[in-house]
Structure formats: C-alpha cells, structure tokens
C-alpha cells in the first residue's frame, strides 16, 4: 500500500508523516518512510539512480513518459514563472518512475509513505508553469486512476498566510523557495493551493488541517490505512479463490 501527501511547501508534510510512521510501528504495521530515506540514506539515494535507469528500460515507463509529454505539447510554449521546477524531462521521468514503483508497492501489505510523491511531483511542475486544472488532472489520470489503486492521498491543508509564517520561521536555507521575494512566493503558493484543491475536489483524499491536534490527524490517517489494508486482503482472497 502507498500513502502519499500533498500540501503547500512548509505545511508540515514531512513532520506529519514522521508521526504516521511512528504510529504505524507502534501498531505493529510494517512501513517504509520513503521521504526520510531520500533525505538521510546514501544507499537509498544511490538506489534511486539505479532504479531510474532500470525503469527506463521498461517499455511501459517510456510510454507513460511520452503520453505525459503529449499532454504538455498542447500547452507549449511553456513559460517558467519562478525558476524552480523548470526541467520538463526530469518531471515526466520522475512521474513515470513513481507510477512504476507504486504499481509494485500497491500490492504489498507493507505501507510505503511518501511525503512528496507522484501527485506532488505533478503539482510542482504545473504550478511552475501556471498550467490549467484540466491539464493537471489529465496528467494525474494518465498515471493511473486513484480509485483503482491501493493508494491513499493525504491532503495536509494550511492557509497561505500560515504557510508563509512557517517558511519565514526557518532559520536555515531549505530550498529555492527561500530565495523568492515575498510577493512571488505568495503567488507560487496560490498556484499550489489551486492545484491541491482541484485534486481534492476530483479524487478521494484524507484531508487534515495543520491546526488540528496531531493525534487526531494521525488517528484518522491510520483508520484509512487499516481499511485499505483490509480491502487489499479481501481482494487477494478473491483472487486465490478464482485460482
């Protein structure tokens, strides 16, 4: 099973999923926090590079990348607005890799957590170029309808004003967002908010608020995970009976 998070930069996605990881382990549920591994594990970082090459030997991954490219062709010429997520090829290949990896992980009883996964990758790119909702949804849909997958998307909702305060409180340079002037940063956050809200309006998500008590948020997410794992088990049993 895959659980990924969407939300504004600085909304606390990483912090939230650390808490979810702790609760899963307390409840005896095997899990892997992909976001934490990406930040701290050299083996994981090296493995991602190998995985990138291996997956693109796959015909399905190349086809998905090319279909996503076709969707964007209708919107060209693309104009970067903020100079942060400008690499079209990297974005499309990353989305294809996530889709391929998810396909395998979704069949597992283990829970894989991604604080920035497939949907967030597409959000970042579409926000950079101010792409319309229909293009964003077409790209997400091309990567696989959520309703047909053993995947949960958590929408960590926060106001733009609160997000700005959160980013300003940082005492270190974290990413390119820290280099944007206030007005440009607010404009970019509005694009993220538009796309996240669009996704939440069209796909099933677990919405949590930044202002909610942490225990309530994690409890709601864990309830959804338990239901998802139970549904996975039922499907596996039905397949066994057919065999």
Q: Where are the domains of the chain?
A: 2-242
CATH class of 2-242: alpha beta
Q: What is the pLDDT along the chain (243 residues), one digit of tens a residue?
A: 999 999 998 788 999 999 999 999 999 999 999 877 655 555 555 555 556 555 555 788 889 999 999 999 999 899 999 988 888 988 998 899 889 888 888 888 899 999 999 999 999 999 999 999 999 999 999 987 544 567 899 999 999 999 888 877 765 555 677 788 889 999 999 999 999 999 999 999 999 998 889 899 999 999 999 998 888 777 767 766 666
pLDDT of residue 47: 58
Predicted confidence at residue 60, as pLDDT, reads 83
Q: What pLDDT is stored for residue 53 in this prediction?
A: 58
Query: How far apart, in whole angstroms, are the C-alpha atoms of residue 97 and residue 79?
Result: 25
Q: Contacts by 47-56 with C-beta closer than 8 Å and gap 24+?
A: 51/97, 51/101, 52/93, 52/97, 55/96, 55/97, 55/100, 55/101, 56/93, 56/96
pLDDT of residue 41: 54
pLDDT of residue 20: 96
At 209, give phi and psi (nearest 5°).
Answer: -105, 140
Residues 82-106 as b/e (b if ≥16 CB within 10 A, e otherwise) read bebbeebeebbbbbbbbbbbbeebb
Nearest CA among 165, 242, 150 for reference residue 204 = 150
């Amino acid at each position: 099973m895959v659980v990924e998070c969407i939300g504004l930069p600085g909304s606390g996605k990483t912090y939230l999923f650390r808490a979810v990881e702790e609760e899963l382990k307390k409840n005896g549920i095997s899990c892997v926090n992909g976001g934490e591994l990406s930040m701290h594990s050299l083996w994981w970082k090296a493995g991602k590079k190998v995985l990138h090459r291996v997956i693109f030997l796959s015909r399905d991954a190349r086809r998905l990348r090319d279909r996503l490219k076709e969707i964007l062709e209708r919107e060209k010429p693309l104009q970067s607005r903020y100079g942060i997520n400008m690499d079209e090829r990297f974005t499309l290949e990353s989305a294809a890799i996530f889709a391929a990896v998810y396909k395998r992980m979704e069949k597992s009883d283990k829970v894989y957590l991604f604080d920035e996964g497939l949907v967030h990758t597409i959000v970042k790119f579409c926000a950079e170029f101010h792409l319309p909702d229909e293009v964003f949804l077409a790209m997400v849909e091309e990567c696989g309808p959520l309703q047909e997958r053993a995947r949960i998307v958590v929408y960590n909702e926060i106001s733009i004003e609160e997000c700005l305060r959160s980013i300003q409180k940082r005492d270190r340079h974290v990413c390119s967002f820290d280099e944007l002037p206030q007005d440009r940063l607010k404009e970019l956050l509005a694009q993220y908010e538009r796309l996240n809200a669009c996704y939440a309006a069209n796909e099933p998500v677990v919405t949590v608020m930044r202002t909610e008590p942490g225990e309530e948020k994690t409890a709601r997410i864990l309830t959804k995970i338990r239901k998802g794992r139970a549904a996975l088990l039922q499907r596996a049993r039905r397949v066994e009976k057919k065999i």
